Amino acid sequence: MRFLNSFLGLSMTLLLVSCSGGGDDPTPTPQPEVPAPVATTLVFPNNNEECNEGAIISDTESQVVFQWAASENTDSYTLKLKDLELGSEISLNTTNTQLPVDILRGNAYAWSVVSKANGTNQTAESDTWRFYNAGPGVQNYAPFPAYDPNPAMGVAIAAGEITLGWKSSDLDGDPLSFTVYLDTTSPPLTLLGQTNTNSYTTTINANTIYYWRVVASDSAGNSSQSEIFEFRTNP
**Do residues 177 and 217 make contact, with C-beta atoms less than 8 angstroms apart?**
yes
Q: Per the domain annotation, does 36 fall within a domain? A: no
Amino acid in the structure at residue 36: A
Question: Residues 179, 227: contact at Cβ < 8 Å?
Answer: no
Please indicate, yes or no, whether residues 171 and 108 belong to a single structural domain of this protein: no
Q: How far apart are CA 48 and CA 173, in angstroms?
A: 11
Predicted pLDDT of residue 18: 46
Q: Are 112 and 161 members of one domain? A: no
**Same-domain status, 66 and 123:** yes
Distance CA 163, CA 235 (A): 19
Q: Report if residue 103 sits inside a domain.
A: yes
How much is the pLDDT for 211? 98
Residue 162 located in a structural domain = yes
Per-residue pLDDT of the chain in tens (235 residues, 90 and over written 9) = 444 444 444 444 444 444 444 555 566 666 678 899 999 999 999 999 999 888 999 989 999 999 999 999 999 999 999 999 888 999 999 999 999 999 999 899 999 999 999 999 999 999 999 999 988 876 788 999 999 999 999 999 999 999 999 999 998 899 999 999 999 999 999 999 999 999 999 999 999 999 999 999 999 999 999 999 999 999 9
Number of other residues whose CB lies within 10 A of the CB of residue 222: 17
Please give the tally of structural domains in the chain. 2
Question: What CATH number has the domain bearing residue 68?
Answer: 2.60.40.10
Q: Are residues 122 and 162 in the same domain?
A: no
Residue where a domain stops, chosen among 133, 163, 182: 133
Kindly state whether residue 172 falls inside one of the protein's structural domains. Answer: yes
pLDDT of residue 135: 84
In a domain, 117, yes or no: yes
Residues 160, 125 within the same domain: no
**What confidence score (pLDDT) does residue 202 get?**
97
CB 115 within 8 A of CB 40: yes
Q: For residue 151, what pLDDT is reported?
A: 96
47 and 125 part of one domain: yes
What is the pLDDT at residue 29? 67
Instruction: Judge whether 28 lies within some domain.
Output: no
pLDDT of res. 99: 97
Q: Does 59 share its domain with 122?
A: yes
Residues 125 and 200 in one domain: no
Which range of residues forms the domain containing residue 70? Answer: 42-133
81 and 114 fall within a common domain: yes
| pLDDT for the residue 136 | 81
Are residue 157 and residue 121 in the same domain, yes or no? no
Q: Is residue 59 part of a domain?
A: yes
Question: Is 123 found in the same domain as 46?
Answer: yes
Instruction: Give the number of other CB atoms < 10 A from CB of residue 93.
Output: 11
The pLDDT, as a whole number, for residue 23 is 52
Q: H or E segment at 13?
A: helix 2-21
* 226 within some domain: yes
